[in-house]
């Protein structure tokens, strides 16, 4: 029996299929140039997919975090940079929808702008995490914020930035402020410095904030410094399965391309074993991601245990993805070593998976601390 969720997922994937040729057509050029995947973003916007996670009553498609993960995974089959860049927008939209369901200020207005105007939301949370890069000073009506943000995907087309800054409170000590900052604000500068090994089309440039005024109504949270508190647990639980799905899609694309390239050597036992190992790693990584999404659910509550499980799933996707892309290079053979090969691009793109918090090694410490802390 087909459920409502199944129908909605199929609808998203059908929309993804309509934009796939655009992603595939321009992926190689943007990778070579290190330029933003602008045609892909325009196609995704035209297909209504920027508003995939906006609730239906606000003009969106009403997709939940599982459906958004499936969408980004599919997009990554055609262009890893597009999938990763837009996953940053999608997870901010998904968290904003979480805030909207709780009647929190500013959420509805932001979601309506995503649906009506097609605005792009940018996150610096991966670079900030528990120790933000930047400081806020209290002034009349708000704060003055300065800081240097890295890995701000889609920075060249972003409308508003979800970011963080530290604030030294006289009574509570050092705090973290979650802020919504329009890119049009005076003092916001996007640097042209994204020149990397992989994910070269994401425009994840540095963003510099110099004495930017942020009014009180754009302060979304005031949290303890250096702590994985409740709001950050929810943000991470929503965001990282969506981001991880993009990387899983990259690995799947590499595997598929390698299998096509190796078709003439299908009787080679080494090739058959390597293809089998790729399938094993992809399946297990997919199960890990599905398990994390099951645990998170469509409307997560703050939970350190859930966040740890998400990070473990992300670790599995990252390490499996790297192994699969390595294997794909061997399976495809010498042709995969040339620039312009899908396998070669995926081989580089997948390396970025280790740079999102928490790193694979830090994740093990996080999981160990959680278990030992319960003893």
3-27 mean pLDDT? 84
Q: What percent of the chain has pLDDT over 70?
A: 97
Give the residues across from 60 on adjacent strands.
Answer: none
Q: Residue 4's pLDDT band (boundaries 50, 70, 90)?
A: very low
Beta pairing, strands 219-224 & 160-169:
unpaired
pLDDT score for 323: 98
Q: Which domains does the chain have, with CATH numbers?
A: 4-118 (1.10.540.10), 125-224 (2.40.110.10), 230-373 (1.20.140.10)
**Which are the contacts of 96, defined by CB distance < 8 A and separation ≥ 6?**
107, 110, 111, 121
pLDDT score for 294: 98
Does the structure show a pLDDT above 60 at 2? Answer: no
**Which are the contacts of 354, defined by CB distance < 8 A and separation ≥ 6?**
318, 322, 360
Give the model confidence (pLDDT) of 178-214 as tens digits.
999 999 999 999 999 999 999 999 999 999 999 999 9
């Amino acid at each position: 029996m087909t459920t409502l969720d199944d129908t909605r997922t199929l609808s998203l994937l059908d929309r993804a299929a309509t934009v796939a040729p655009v992603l595939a057509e321009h992926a190689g050029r943007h990778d070579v140039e290190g330029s933003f995947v602008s045609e892909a973003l325009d196609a995704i916007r035209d297909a209504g997919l920027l508003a995939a996670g906006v609730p239906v009553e606000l003009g969106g498609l009403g997709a939940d975090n599982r459906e958004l993960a499936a969408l980004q995974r599919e997009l990554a089959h055609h262009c890893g940079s597009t999938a990763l860049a837009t996953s940053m927008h999608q997870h901010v939209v998904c968290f904003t929808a979480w805030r909207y369901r709780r009647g929190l200020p500013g959420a509805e207005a932001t979601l309506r702008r995503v649906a009506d105007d097609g605005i792009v939301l940018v996150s610096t949370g991966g670079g900030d995490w528990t120790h933000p890069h930047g400081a806020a000073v209290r002034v009349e009506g708000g704060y003055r914020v300065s800081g240097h943000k890295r890995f701000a995907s889609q920075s060249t087309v972003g409308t508003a930035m979800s970011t963080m800054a530290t604030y030294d409170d006289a009574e509570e000590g050092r705090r973290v402020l979650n802020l919504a900052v329009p890119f049009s604000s005076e003092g916001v500068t996007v640097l042209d410095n994204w020149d990397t090994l992989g994910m070269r089309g994401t425009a994840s440039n540095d963003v510099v904030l110099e004495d930017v005024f942020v009014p009180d109504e754009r302060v979304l949270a005031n949290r303890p410094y250096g702590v994985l508190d409740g709001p950050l647990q929810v943000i991470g639980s929503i965001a990282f399965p969506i981001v991880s799905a993009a990387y899983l899609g990259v690995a799947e694309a590499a595997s598929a391309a390698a299998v096509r390239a190796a078709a003439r050597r299908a009787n080679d036992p080494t090739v058959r074993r390597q293809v089998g190992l790729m399938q094993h790693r992809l399946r297990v990584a997919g199960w890990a991601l599905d398990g994390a999404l099951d645990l998170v659910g469509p409307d997560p509550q703050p939970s350190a245990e859930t966040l740890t499980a998400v990070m473990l799933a992300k670790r599995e996707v990252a390490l499996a993805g790297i192994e699969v892309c390595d294997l794909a290079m061997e399976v495809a053979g010498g042709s995969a070593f040339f620039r312009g090969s899908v396998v070669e691009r995926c081989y580089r793109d997948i390396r970025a998976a280790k740079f999102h918090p928490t790193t694979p090694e830090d994740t093990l410490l996080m999981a160990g601390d959680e278990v030992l802390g319960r003893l």
